[in-house]
Amino acid sequence: MLRRKLTKKLHYGKYVYKVCIRNALASSFRREMNRAKGDEKFPLVTTVFERLEKARITGESLTYGYWSKNVSEVEFNYAKDLYKLLNTHDDYKIRIERGVYMWLYSNTKSLIDKIVDLPIPENPKNKLTLFFINNALP
C-alpha cells in the first residue's frame, strides 16, 4: 500500500518528502476535481464518501468511478482516515497516477510520518489466504 523512496533531489523543485499511496479512491483526491468551497478542501471526496456510506448501509457493493471500480472496506476506511489527516495540513501537493496511485509531496516530515503510521485495518481475505499458505502441505 505504501512505498518509501530516498532521494537527494527536490520534488517539483520544492518538496523534500514524498510518499506513494495505492487506493481505489485516490482519483477522488485530484486537485482539479476538488475546487475548494469555503473551508472544505476536497468537496468531491466528501460526496464520494457520502455515496459509498449509503451503499454500505443499504448492503450494496462499494463501487466508484467511470469504470465502476470495486472499493474494499479497507480502502474506504483508509481513505477516510487520510482525508481527515490531509484536512489538518496545508503544506503538500498531490499527484494522481493511473487513478489508483496518489503521490503526496510535502516539506513536513511529521505529515509523511503520520501518513505512513495510519492504521491499515486487516483484510479478512488476506488473513484467510495467509492461513492457507502457512498450513499448506509441502
Looking at 37-123, list the stretches that DSSP marks H as alpha helix, in order from N- to C-terminal side. Answer: 43-58, 73-87, 109-116
- The enclosing H or E element of 70 equals strand 69-70
Residue 130's pLDDT is 47
Residue 42, classified by CB atoms within 10 Å of its CB into exposed (0-12), middle (13-18) or buried (19+), is buried
* Residues 2-43: tens digit of each pLDDT: 566 666 777 777 888 888 888 888 888 877 555 656 566 777
Q: Using 50, 70 and 90 to split pLDDT, how confident is the model at 137?
A: very low
Owner of C-alpha cell 527536490: 10
* Residues 88-133: tens digit of each pLDDT: 888 888 888 887 888 888 888 888 888 888 876 555 555 444 444 4
Is 65 in contact with 27 (CB distance < 8 Å)?
yes
Cα 123 → chain centroid: 16
Q: 67-85 b/e with 16+ CB inside 10 Å = b?
A: eeeebeebbbebbeebbee
